[in-house]
Amino acid sequence: MLGIEPGDEVTFWRDGDHVAVRSVRSARPLRGRFAGSALVDERDRERADDRAREDRR
C-alpha cells in the first residue's frame, strides 16, 4: 500500500500523537557525501593508528 519493500530506506517523524513514515527513494547515496570533511579525516587518522598498533603486536 505504501510502496515500501524489505530493505528500503524510510524516514519516521512525529506529527502530534501520530508517527508518519515515508520511503527515502529520492535521497542521494551517502557514499562520498562527507569526503574532505574533518570527520572523515579524523576517521582516517584513527584507522591508520589502529593499523599501526596492530602491526606492532
The pLDDT confidence band at residue 55, using thresholds 50, 70 and 90, is very high
The pLDDT confidence band at residue 5, using thresholds 50, 70 and 90, is confident
Q: Are 27 and 11 in contact (CB under 8 A)?
A: no
Q: Does position 14 have pLDDT exceeding 90, yes or no?
A: yes
Three cell numbers, residue 52: 599501526
Residue 39: what pLDDT? 84
Three-state secondary structure string covering the chain: CCCCCCCCCEEEEEECCEEEEEECCCCCCCCCCCCCCHHHHHHHHHHHHHHHHHHHC
Nearest to 24 by CA among 3, 39, 44, 40: 3
What mean pLDDT do residues 41-54 have? 92
- Per-residue pLDDT tens for 22-40? 888 765 677 777 777 888 8
